[in-house]
Structure 1
Amino acid sequence: MLNTMISEYPERDALLGVVIDNKGSDFYYTVGTYPAIKISGEIILVNEGIEIISPVAARDFAQSLITNDQHEKLLEAKNLDFSFQFQDSRFRGNISFQNGCYMTVLRLLSQNIPSIQDLGLPLIYQDITRTGQGLILVTGPTGSGKSTTLAAMINEINTNYAKHIITIEDPIEYIHVHKKSIMEQKEIGRDVPDYNTALIGAMRQNPQVILFGEMRDMHEIEMALKLAETGHLVFSTLHTRSAYQTISRIIDAFPSGQQNQVRLQLADTLVAVFSQRLLKKSDGSGMKLAKEILVKNTAISHLIRENELHQIPSIMQTSSREGMQIIEHDLLQFINDGDITLEEGLKYANMPKFIKENVNS
């Protein structure tokens, strides 16, 4: 069970209620300022009837959210990811230290797992879930909706196919129920000590589908490639800006003597890379999801093998019939439709010159 909030902390509960009522995405509680909520990409201070946060208040707030065991881990590692239930809502949290004081950042999670259609994602996302084996990556910065996209894709498999699915997360964000598939969700620190142990254990449980939250180092990338090579469909994430950069980042994580072998593995096992950004709408009413989509085909495999990664964007631009697109496709559409400003689009473009040359005047 996830931590369940109790009503011993009225001020904390009131602040969490403000986040929920205002549909905030993030909440910040740190020393020397007021509590803050991010709404539609803008950070707003909560200062009505609230004092500036003191070191003691920051400590008490953080400790009220976690168990004694979690607090011991926090003191040892100086950083803790966790999740909890508050009333009918769920939050993901991170506690760290700055200037010797506790700092808490919370993210409000959706209670319902959205479908691929709910997110407005193109059909290729649904098609990819039919793949029997290989590596599927969802990439982007923190707060770009990677976990939500992955949850929707896992839900698509769970709803339509009889599979054994294991997710390994830090922490668990969306709770999946058993539908057509058998679902196992393992949380780092609670169910398993670390990703490596969890992945080794997963291989012995004969799943068809494995999701693990993030490929953080060479060993986890190596394990993901091995699982994809041995008949599993593997989902994971990376904090990269583009499909091209994602492939380069994976290869560069290894010593030069191993990189050629990794290129061969990626050329064989990669299924797709979905890179994404959440952009502020020009009217301030919410966010727009911009997507970059790479689907491996013969040409992409060849470029990976031959270390000609710089040519990948060109293939993506000319392969729209296969579901591929560069992120500039969405950015231009949003700009021309008035959904986002030109400035916002240029901020997230991999090829700003392309945007300037093709935007409607």
Structure 2
Amino acid sequence: MESRMDKIFQAYIDNEISLDEICAKFNITSWDFFKKLANFCNLHFVDLDEDNDFIYEGIPFSLLLKFKFLLIKNNDGFMIIRSKPCSLELLEQVKTFMICEKIDTAIADELKIAKILNQIRIQEEIKRLSIKLRLEWQENQKRDDQSCISQIFDFLLHEILSFHASDIHIEARNDDALIRFRVDGILREFAIFEKDVYEALVFHVKFLACLNLAESRKTQDGSFELDFENERYDFRVSCLPLIYGESVAIRILKHDKEILDLYKLNLGDKNLEILKKILHRPNGVILLTGPTGSGKSTTLYACLNELKSIEKKIISAEDPIEYKIPLVQQILLNSKVGVEFNSILRVILRQDPDIIMIGEIRDEESLDIALKASLTGHLLLSTLHTNDALSTIDRLLDMQAKSYLIASALSLVIAQRLVRKLCPWCKQKSKKHYIEFEGEFFEPKGCERCHHSGFFGRELIAECLEINEDLACAIRENQDKTILMELAKKYGFQTMFEQGLKKAKEGLTSIDELLRVVR
């Protein structure tokens, strides 16, 4: 009698049920499913990775895409790899393009095949456009014709923006160039460019950013704006000379990106209550801490959005200005003309502000001005680079701030990180057993909606340290971090890791992702 699983295998082969439906309904990973499917079909199972030597020269990409298959070199022939058994039609088609005596077939994970086919598609399009570019050079005998290199750059942007990337990296190597992009804090490879195309691409980016095209020995910074699919984007360009050529980093900022309100930050109910209470005090210092890319600016802007009022004068000093906020007077810092943090902070204080926001406390002088400003009746918000909330006290002391001044001025420290959110469409219950942690957790799988990564977007994890009377007294007495933690815990302080663990149990992120970011 045919087993239940055999019926599922046959339904999948006959396109009567999708992989997503199978994984969701039967709580099975795609890897396990295809391993069992290969056994059902009496075929070899191949665990694909990007290092496999795939063959696609001489085979139309349209054929690869139509039958969703890959081809690799076998011992004495070729192997067709699909997520389903190979049809006679496909075998005949492959034989018309590949001259060989033996063609084997094998089963592999559908998700991995789709991911690799997409990489082949990108590389093939770059190859086609590169050939077109070189023909253009031959005809014109010059490199200043931007038409084809514009197509290459537009293709690159279109593909990368579809992933909701935050940064693009164009990096020269010895014989070629690597293009990478950052999504949810993780760098991914996009494509390999030949050196001459890389040089033309860098030239084009510098042209768009109004940089010195003849200068490649010095660092340069610039920016440009472009429209893509009815969206306006700002691109911040940084050029750095390296031994093999310039490294170009492009920061991507959506022009009309919505400023989050405090509720949408997902700080947690208790943390949100603390933050809102302290935000509406007339004076004090609120510091946000965390590494670059941890979402500090987003939280700062959400705070300003909460505070903006016709009854309050709010001035911010920023570099760059990422969001434009009504009722906030925003200053763009520019060291080239002397508009710097320390000098502008003194001028701001003469402008009769109620609330001041400075992008980052960078040195002892700006810290001293900031702390004293709060003692003269101003609410000041800024950022600092520390690992956690309690480490901020030590960092301020290292910057020569007096302990009594810290105790009197500091109101709140928010330390935060961003963890990747599990894709809500394909996440699955984790089969791992964690000795340290109790409860049920989830893990990534991968689907088309998350570009087969298993993650979609990012989630904030944070800790809010309110400097109450007891903590202020302990800081004034130079108590160590252990004592400060005990006092904070007494008042319900929750660490980033504790909040992250709670969110992992809710299925928002995975334990492995939490450990990667916090520990």
> TM-score, length-normalised on structure 1?
0.80
**Which protein shows a greater Rg?**
2
Deviation, 1:103, is: 2.2
User: CA separation in 2, counterparts of 1:24 and 1:240?
Assistant: 26
1:144-188, Cα deviation, whole Å (9 max, x unpaired): 101111011011111x4621111111111111123xxx5233333
Aligned-partner residue type, residue 504 of structure 2:
I
1:184-227, Cα deviation, whole Å (9 max, x unpaired): 33333477532112112212212111111111111221221122
Q: What is the aligned residue count?
A: 328
Alignment of 1:111-150 (within 5 A): 111-121=257-267, 122-150=272-300
Gap change, CA 1:10 and 1:236, over 3 Å in 2: farther
Aligned-partner residue type, residue 184 of structure 2:
S
Which secondary structure state, in structure 2, belongs to the residue aligned with residue 183 of structure 1? strand
CA contact (8 A) 2:407 2:475 kept: yes
1:319 aligns with 2:491: yes
Alignment of 1:17-28 (within 5 A): 17-28=158-169
Deviation, 1:53, is: 7.6
Gap change, CA 1:301 and 1:57, over 3 Å in 2: farther
Deviation, 1:344, is: 3.0
User: CA separation in 2, counterparts of 1:241 and 1:53?
Assistant: 42
Deviation, 1:108, is: 2.8
Q: Which of 337, 350, 354 is 1:208 aligned to?
A: 354
CA contact (8 A) 2:333 2:341 kept: no
Deviation, 1:241, is: 0.9
User: CA separation in 2, counterparts of 1:95 and 1:196?
Assistant: 27
Q: Which of 21, 25, 31 is 2:172 aligned to?
A: 31
Which secondary structure state, in structure 2, belongs to the residue aligned with residue 175 of structure 1? coil
1:243-262, Cα deviation, whole Å (9 max, x unpaired): 111111111022xxxx5xx2
Q: Which of 445, 458, 465 is 1:287 aligned to?
A: 458
Higher mean alpha-carbon deviation, 59-68 vs 121-130, is at 59-68
Q: Report the equivalent of 1:102.
A: 246
Gap change, CA 1:177 and 1:190, over 3 Å in 2: farther
User: CA separation in 1, counterparts of 2:220 and 2:370?
Assistant: 25
Q: Report the equivalent of 2:387.
A: 241
Q: Report the equivalent of 2:302.
A: 152
Higher mean alpha-carbon deviation, 262-271 vs 336-345, is at 336-345
Alignment of 1:35-114 (within 5 A): 35-47=179-191, 50-51=193-194, 56-57=199-200, 59-68=202-211, 78=219, 80=221, 84-87=224-227, 88-99=232-243, 101-110=245-254, 111-114=257-260
Deviation, 1:39, is: 2.1
1:5-36, Cα deviation, whole Å (9 max, x unpaired): x9994433443333332211222122123221
Deviation, 1:54, is: 6.7
CA contact (8 A) 2:412 2:465 kept: yes
CA contact (8 A) 2:217 2:241 kept: no
Which secondary structure state, in structure 2, belongs to the residue aligned with residue 177 of structure 1? coil
Q: Report the equivalent of 2:433.
A: none
Gap change, CA 1:16 and 1:232, over 3 Å in 2: farther
> TM-score, length-normalised on structure 2?
0.57
CA contact (8 A) 1:171 1:188 kept: no
1:333 aligns with 2:509: no
CA contact (8 A) 2:211 2:220 kept: no
Alignment of 1:184-263 (within 5 A): 184-189=330-335, 193-254=339-400, 259=401, 262-263=402-403
Q: Report the equivalent of 1:359.
A: none
CA contact (8 A) 1:317 1:326 kept: no
Gap change, CA 1:163 and 1:268, over 3 Å in 2: same
User: CA separation in 2, counterparts of 1:44 and 1:21?
Assistant: 13
CA contact (8 A) 1:145 1:278 kept: yes
Aligned-partner residue type, residue 289 of structure 1:
L
Higher mean alpha-carbon deviation, 91-100 vs 149-158, is at 91-100
1:77-113, Cα deviation, whole Å (9 max, x unpaired): x464x65533212344544343374323233334221
CA contact (8 A) 1:225 1:266 kept: yes
Aligned-partner residue type, residue 118 of structure 1:
K
Deviation, 1:301, is: 0.2
Which secondary structure state, in structure 1, belongs to the residue aligned with residue 405 of structure 2? helix
Deviation, 1:315, is: 2.4
User: CA separation in 2, counterparts of 1:240 and 1:318?
Assistant: 23
Gap change, CA 1:339 and 1:57, over 3 Å in 2: same
Q: Report the equivalent of 2:512.
A: 343
User: Structure 2: which 5+ runs fail to align?
Assistant: 1-145, 422-442, 445-454
User: CA separation in 2, counterparts of 1:161 and 1:37?
Assistant: 41
CA contact (8 A) 1:166 1:186 kept: no
Q: Which of 465, 470, 474 is 1:303 aligned to?
A: 474
Q: Report the equivalent of 2:322.
A: 173
Deviation, 1:267, is: 0.3
Gap change, CA 1:286 and 1:193, over 3 Å in 2: same
Deviation, 1:44, is: 2.3
CA contact (8 A) 1:31 1:58 kept: no
Amino-acid identity (%): 30
Q: Which of 270, 281, 290 is 2:410 aligned to?
A: 270
- Root mean square deviation, CA, Å: 3.1
CA contact (8 A) 2:319 2:333 kept: yes
Aligned-partner residue type, residue 234 of structure 2:
R
**Higher RCO, 1 vs 2 (CA within 8 Å, ≥6 residues apart):** 1
User: CA separation in 1, counterparts of 2:411 and 2:217?
Assistant: 40
